[in-house]
Amino acid sequence: MNDTTSPVLVADNITVRYRKGRRHFTALDNVSVRIPHGTTVGLVGESGSGKSTLAKAILGLVPVTTGRVELLGEDITHLTGRRRRELGRSIQAVFQDPNTSLNPSFTIRRSLIEPLKAQNMLGGIDVDGRVAEVLTAVGMEPDAAFRRPRQFSGGQRQRISIARALITNPQVVVCDEAVSALDLSVQAQVLNLLTDLQRERGLSYLFISHDMSVVKHICHEVTVLYRGVIKESGATRLVTTQPVDPYTRALLLAAPIADPAMQRQRQRPTTAGAAT
Ligand code: ADP
Ligand code: MG
């Protein structure tokens, strides 16, 4: 985690403007994030702050107006074609809604091997071996491959979405609200799984959430985004215990606290903080 480690992913001064009819809307204004190898960097902010836009800019799904995206030391900002596809193996994503990665009418196997197809990786590998390996890695039985999404709970579907992200052996996984739709106890299990996978595989995560309490659990560093602008960033412990920006304090106050004693303490007027 120290600064001399070369980062696996760098987003440098990213600005994204969307066209809205004849007008432009700046969804991200000079946003920079760097992810050191093997770490989890959080991106937190309320709905509409631009989190998914940054995820999409990094994944090459929306064009960057200005700025630079670097993956494993290579500038991929405007990269297309074969090289982009090759590098795409190194970065995968998990989204909030498993329906975006698991087609309800496909078997799990068919959805799992889609990234392999997209990356031209089906030839010369033991596809079913790989499917079984990633399912096992996320705590599922290999025969899940032959069932369909509706036969699984929300938590299991999200595990399968993670398996799908792992199948190309990526180094970076972008998790965009990956646990946000899950119940608290299931959230905790999936967060533990992500942490275990990071340790076992040396994965790096860009972990996006609107929920500070989730970010606190899993992220080494955190960047706070508000209306497309970075308000604060740094080591999670520092940002969450000594926030300098009123918006960060407001986010911390909005985060649900599992411990009832802490909850009571937070409700005392003296500890409520300046921000609302
Ligand atoms: P978040 O993920 O933090 O909720 P988004 O990145 O999805 O935020 O959206 C940031 C802002 O950009 C919002 O105001 C949203 O309405 C706007 N936006 C997102 N996608 C588009 C688009 N394709 N065209 C125009 N505006 C968009
Ligand atoms: Mg979003």
Distances (CA, A) of 209 to 161, 233, 250: 17, 15, 15
d(CA 15, CA 266): 36
Q: Checking DSSP bridges between strand 221-226 and strand 229-235, what pairing results, if any?
A: antiparallel
Q: Is the CB of 210 under 6 A from ligand 1?
A: no
CA of 142 to the centre of ligand 2 (A): 31
CA of 143 to the centre of ligand 2 (A): 32
CATH class of the structural domain 1-79+211-270: alpha beta
Q: Checking DSSP bridges between strand 66-71 and strand 7-20, what pairing results, if any?
A: antiparallel
Q: Which pLDDT tens digits describe the chain residue by residue (276 residues)?
A: 444 568 999 999 999 999 988 999 999 999 999 999 999 999 999 999 999 999 999 999 999 999 999 999 999 998 888 888 888 899 999 999 877 789 999 999 999 999 999 888 888 899 999 999 999 999 999 999 999 999 999 999 999 999 999 999 999 999 999 999 999 999 999 999 999 999 999 999 999 999 999 999 999 999 999 999 999 999 999 999 999 999 999 999 987 655 555 555 555 444 333 333
**Of 33, 47, 53, 226, best ligand 1 pocket probe by most atoms within 8 Å of the beta carbon:** 53
